[in-house]
Chain A
């Protein structure tokens, strides 16, 4: 009989065809939901633009106030040395106002120039300036204090040199930042946001799509057809992965390179290959979570619990090496950690395959593990979903 022939012919070709047909179904489902398309569009354009254009240089418009108890030419000189873009024009405070201003969070730094400061400097008495730093603004606290110290020191030396013999420092330290000479945060912010979006959207798309099939009973229909769980899962992973990958490529080209003018050093293709591996891992993760969650609200919460650590601890927000050892080790199991490392190397430092292969290998291993884990779980739970 016809049908029997069909069953015997079922081979790899048929499997691929099944995946292809299911994949089309997934894409149609997404296409028919305009709000989703809009949200994906916004995620890969506006939010990346915002992240790229709003993030300040590390020390940017830092709010500083000066309590000038000296009112000497030197103290005026120091005052005038703080100007944008690193600092806002310093406000002058009376001594008793300083604490209240810091409390209210109006300034990150208050510099106190003591009385007779200039006299003491000229007399070589090494007077002390007091710098109060609001250390809750931790990102500015360190580098800002460093800058202020340098600026003040420089001003004092210059001032002294005018009054003394003109000597230069014996050894000049020439500092150059590589890969991002002006230390522009826009470059960094936009790409990190792109990575966050890749992770988030891919988890939502695959996981929530599976939960929806379950809540609407459509999964039951798939189960009476001659398709295997692996085919169902692969179709979901491939379709949603492809959507996100295309969005990533477009975003990189039009938003990051186009609008934000971020120079890309390395190979875009290599980056996209990394993104594809990352997507294999995150989409599998989405499926895995959907097999555990019993309802959409549970899935949503679970997603937040997974997504936030991936975003905040992968090294995309703060440097990895300064995290506690335990967190560093734990985060090695997260695909984002490797994806962030590889992306930074490729996009900023122009690294090639020879440099990033360890990350690619790690990503592949994680993706493969997650895939097999979620496939096993998917197989085991599928019959309970109907």
Chain B
């Protein structure tokens, strides 16, 4: 074979020579806890070929692909990809623009809230293409995949097949030399699947040195590959071209050869599926009936007047392109979605969504995995068995049966998210069947499940249907499965095209159900997308002028950084409620607190136990009651009452005037008045104390003047107190400048923290692992939009403080704004730091709120000055930028401070930024562990 030299960079040129494998795996082992995924695996991936990776579920295929793509950290052994050690960061940085990786799962690495165009733009920017180059590539790729008409549709609303095509476009946007696809066609309908492979074929024709490595569960696809690797239990069983494998095993189909290659104990599990036809019934019992069932979402008709009848014990297959309404129909039958119009009956009983009794008789398995990741396999089964009210004594036996039937025994104590896709699907199936339902509604139950397990599962279903008269309503993309159904319906664009037995349907199309399927769909107008594929001319132009992106290996790229910023900004734009909550929420809070929090203590309640009842004692009480600080409550009558009323919190102050007060005072004998203050709230108590003392002294002075006595009081010095900066001691003036920093800390931190953890939780973090974006670019890119949002927020709050609250602004606007800029950089960086510690969004929320509310409210000096704090709180208060920001904010608002006055505090805030950002950078991993 001769290959043309590619346009690859000079350092990679050598790799395109045939003899050198594109990747070498040497003695690689990988384990997750106690589970061994790969065991001392050694293999070579030949360059420039289409290589297939086959094997049962959970044998380490996905792990191997992730290792090769550099997405996962190598635990043991050595892997060379494109001529270098992939465990070295520098090599990954160099070659990752040449590797494209599509992880398992529909649209796993896509951003579902972003449109097709926006997703493609995002990836193109990450790989450093300029605007014209991006446009050209996107236009070409989308034209070739038939996505051109859907550029503005959010990725989340694409059908499964289209999502996978988009994923492929995103992977191909940067001319990779190694394309790694992990089950790219799982869950994709046959038409889209054939289009997908045609597309790959065209790309390879244009770029012959492209190496493609595919894991797949479809044997018919794999039989067209150049080279196959068969894996089991973390080791390599066999390799070679399909022809070599046929020769080695003496089989003539790949499916058979695959089964032959498996170790005997696994092979023994496999028996050919025995299809027995459904016995004709004189008066068939109808299990499911649907009449003119229709579902409308706004003006989009998902299911259009679908009618069918399914007999008891029948296996009824539902086929159709992705997004044709199969899932919606199934959801209506389970009662999950109320139909817009039309009726459905289960076992002759009309379906209403509130009917609990019917749910016992139905088992449902949804398309996407929807079991609890926090419960083990066994606990999931147990929960479902119990909720379906299986008698407790039968549950253990039932679970054992399910575990053995679906070969999940070894994994019974594992958590589902640690399991490969195929095993998770089995668990979902087991859960749907655990309560022995009479009707099973299964939405693509075998997607991603290996051939042996699929056959086992079908045998099981056939037995259930024939022996136990269980009715099965199933959707599938596997034609060999469709052939086993008693009847199938073809669905397209919400309508049932035709319903018949598989044999009748295939009869007119060379006995191939797949051909029949494609024919019917094209008749119905689904062929539009194929037209583009059959025109390789569009792709011809792709490869020829392909320019290498200029900034391939650059260590830092603004374009990649902005790519993440844009993505984040687009998501914010698509979720206006989030932005509105962030902006206007803080204004509402400012309004609420500005008026609500007040440190002024007045309207204190007090009552008197006057045991004297003299004029003088009444005069004393009048003195207190007349002030604006105190409100008099009905007099106390006894010590016991004093006790009770203080206990209930009714009184903040109780006075006890002893008997003979007036008499003794006139005689000049010393008298004591008792004052009891409620100390439960110390701030209030202190203030009360001050007031009472003041009033007491005032009264004494008054008395002295009245009686002209030679009291010392009248001649004493006077303390003139001036309250500075806030002469009316308005709490507003003190609180508003303190609230602004608090809100500027909490909200931006929360938003940035969630933006990172969200990617972790929903899977798109993989783009950080496998694209050239660096950790710094990723973090700063994420930070930028929230930084701008926070600054806008600051401007609005400032405006509100000055106008609505009329808080005097006496200092330098520049000084405040500069400090706020540094402060929100800190706040957003803190959110990033919090995100590196947490995996789930719940934990991120909790951590950020704890990490911001506590220091901001308690220790930053909002209510108590930092200088008055003690211990750990004092330390937090001294170091935390929030307290410095508070000093600046109050100083600039009320004290007329300028930049020169605040720079020590500004420095303290600025110093915190690199510390926090660096910690976040160091804690963020560029590979999955």
Contacts and interface: CB of A to CB of B under 8 A. Distances in A.
Q: Do A and B come from one complex?
A: yes
Interface string B834-872: 000111111101111110011001110001110111111
A269 interface: no
A161 B716 CA distance: 11
B726 A386 contact: no
Nearest to B753: A300
Given A128-B717, A319-B601, A62 B723 contact: no
A68 B516 CA distance: 104
B366 A178 contact: no
A175 B689 contact: yes
Interface stretch (A43-51, A242-250, A362-370): A43-51
Contact of B867 (A43, A61, A228): A61
A136 B601 contact: no
B56 to A, nearest CB: 26
B337 interface: yes
Interface in A30-88: 30-33, 35-36, 39-40, 42-43, 47, 49-51, 53-63, 88
Interface string A107-150: 01000000001001100101111111111111111110111111
Given A129-B720, A227-B356, A355-B648, 5 more contacts: A43-B846, A160-B716, A176-B676, A205-B842, A350-B647
Contacts of A2: 436
B374 A136 contact: no
Given A25-B375, A129-B718, A185 B370 contact: no
A interface, size bucket: 35 or more
Interface in A277-304: 294-304
Contacts of B849: 200, 204, 300, 303-304, 307
A103 to B, nearest CB: 5
A147 to B, nearest CB: 7
A245 B450 CA distance: 47
A95 B692 CA distance: 33
Contacts of A215: 761-762
B775 interface: no
Contacts of B731: 138
B915 interface: no
A383 B336 contact: yes
Contact of A221 (B371, B686, B718, B895): B371
B717 A156 contact: yes
Given A131-B719, A183-B682, A226-B389, A308 B336 contact: no
A208 B389 CA distance: 28
A172 B717 CA distance: 20
Contact of B575 (A40, A160, A298): A298
B581 to A, nearest CB: 4
Interface string B677-691: 111111111110111
Nearest to A379: B354
A83 B762 CA distance: 59
Nearest to B389: A6
Contact of B360 (A103, A226, A349): A226
Interface in A340-370: 341, 344-345, 348-351, 355-356
A271 to B, nearest CB: 14
20 contacts: A3-B437, A6-B389, A54-B871, A104-B901, A131-B719, A132-B724, A135-B726, A138-B726, A138-B729, A139-B683, A168-B670, A183-B682, A218-B372, A220-B336, A224-B335, A312-B593, A312-B596, A345-B680, A383-B336, A383-B353
B interface, size bucket: 35 or more
Interface string A174-200: 111111110111011100010000001
Contacts of B431: 221
B103 interface: no
Interface centre among B605, B687, B839, B874 (most CB of A within 10 A): B687
Nearest to A130: B720
Contacts of A168: 670
A164 B712 CA distance: 10
B379 interface: yes
A146 B384 contact: no
B873 A171 contact: no
Interface in B743-780: 746-747, 750-751, 754-755, 758, 761-762
A173 B688 CA distance: 14
B891 interface: yes
Contacts of A188: 680-682
Given A7-B357, A104-B901, A296-B845, A174 B673 contact: yes
A159 B238 CA distance: 104
Interface centre among B383, B600, B719, B863 (most CB of A within 10 A): B719
Contact of A42 (B585, B697, B850): B850
B51 interface: no
A212 B840 CA distance: 9
Q: For the complex, would chain A's binding face be called helix, strand, loop or mixed by DSSP majority?
A: helix
Given A53-B870, A137-B865, A318-B597, A345 B842 contact: no
A140 B877 CA distance: 17
B374 A33 contact: yes
A62 to B, nearest CB: 7
B675 interface: yes
B388 A349 contact: no
B270 interface: no
Contacts of B755: 297
A167 B710 CA distance: 10
Nearest to B904: A104
Given A136-B894, A304-B849, A153 B716 contact: yes
A283 to B, nearest CB: 14
Contacts of B646: 178-179, 349
Nearest to B113: A295
A162 B436 CA distance: 99
A383 B431 CA distance: 21
Given A36-B843, A201-B846, A305 B679 contact: no
B331 interface: yes
B722 A132 contact: yes
B387 A227 contact: yes
Nearest to A3: B360
A129 B197 CA distance: 92
Contacts of B719: 128-129, 131, 148-149, 152-153
A12 B850 CA distance: 40
Contacts of A258: none
Interface string B636-650: 000000001011110
A183 B597 contact: no
Interface string A1-35: 01100110110001001100110110011111101
Contact of B901 (A103, A295, A324): A103
Contacts of A263: none
Interface in B655-705: 665, 668, 670-687, 689-694, 696-697, 700, 703
Interface in B585-618: 585, 588-589, 592-593, 595-605
Contacts of A225: 359, 384, 387-388
Contacts of A57: 682
A331 B592 CA distance: 11
Nearest to A180: B679
A350 B644 CA distance: 10
A224 B837 contact: no
A149 B690 CA distance: 10
Contacts of B751: 297, 300-301
Given A3-B361, A6-B389, A157 B712 contact: yes
Nearest to B605: A321
